[in-house]
Amino acid sequence: MSSKIINIIKNSKEYSLEIAEHLKTELEKYGYKTTCEFDSEAELCISVGGDGSFLKSVRDNNFPQIPFIGVNTGTLGFYPELSPEDIDFFVREYIKGNYSLNKLNLLKGEIHSEKLKDEIYAINDISIKNEICKAIHLAVFIDDNHLQTISGDGVIISTPMGSSAYNYSAGGSLVYPSLNTMQITPIAPLISNAYRCLSSGVIVPPKTKIVIKPELDYIDSAVLCVDGESYIVNKLQKCDFFISEKTITILSLGTFNYWKVIKDKFL
């Protein structure tokens, strides 16, 4: 049953505030109650901003099962499907039920440090780098098999949806979202007589475990970046990565067309 409550989650930019107010006005014309505070009883969350705002709105509210859609007031706008000019059309189509719901599995990272074990989740990616902007040496294991040691700026573990973000900028491959894989991509790896590793990304199937271990000299300086936000870990010993059973739901007008999004945003 519809709760008639819709969360509008916006960034602090003036244009986003203006668009959020217009969205509020249109929805309330049709009897919806809108709130800028997260309401767990809401039937929909609308993010107003760019990709960073969309990811932050999902993460800050602990990956709720409420569907999300975004209005793009940023630059690229890969996740935010709607432009501000689409708002009136979106409201009419939403009321008619002309939309699809698409589940995305999250990336799970199990962090093991000297004093704690923690879990983190990401929509796009988790990267491991050196906090002091120097090269870092990271051993990569797939299902307990040592694959390589990456020496360079770090490594990215990405989801299929995240494959078009930082992973793509680092030279990784685009992966269709329904494949439900993980990708390991080195960041500016050192390739020389002294250091050898794969220079391209490696895509692994579901139910695979990826383990990243900083070499001993780097456990004090390794830092995690989770969907673009830093996560400091003291004395990181290793991080295990899995495809999580936890999901989020993306609402899309009509049927989500990945190839159209790729063409519109990148070509």
Which domains, from first to last, does the chain contain? 5-97 (3.40.50.10330), 107-245 (2.60.200.30)
Structure tokens at 193: 């007589």
Q: Which residue has the tokens 């901003």?
A: 49
What's the confidence (pLDDT) of residue 115? Answer: 82
What's the confidence (pLDDT) of residue 143? Answer: 96
Q: Are 87 and 26 in contact (CB under 8 A)?
A: yes
Could you report the per-residue pLDDT of 33-47, keeping only the tens digit for each?
999 989 999 999 999
Angle at 151 between CA 147 and CA 155, to 5 degrees: 70
| Active-site entry in 39, 51, 217, 264 | 51
240 a catalytic residue: no
What's the confidence (pLDDT) of residue 1? Answer: 47
How many Å apart are CA 66 and CA 240, to the nearest integer? 28
| Ranges under pLDDT 50 in the chain | 1
Question: What Å distances lie between residue 85 and 89, 149, 160, 242, CA to CA?
Answer: 8, 48, 29, 39
Could you report the per-residue pLDDT of 178-214, keeping only the tens digit for each?
899 999 999 999 999 888 898 899 999 999 999 999 9
What's the confidence (pLDDT) of residue 236? Answer: 93
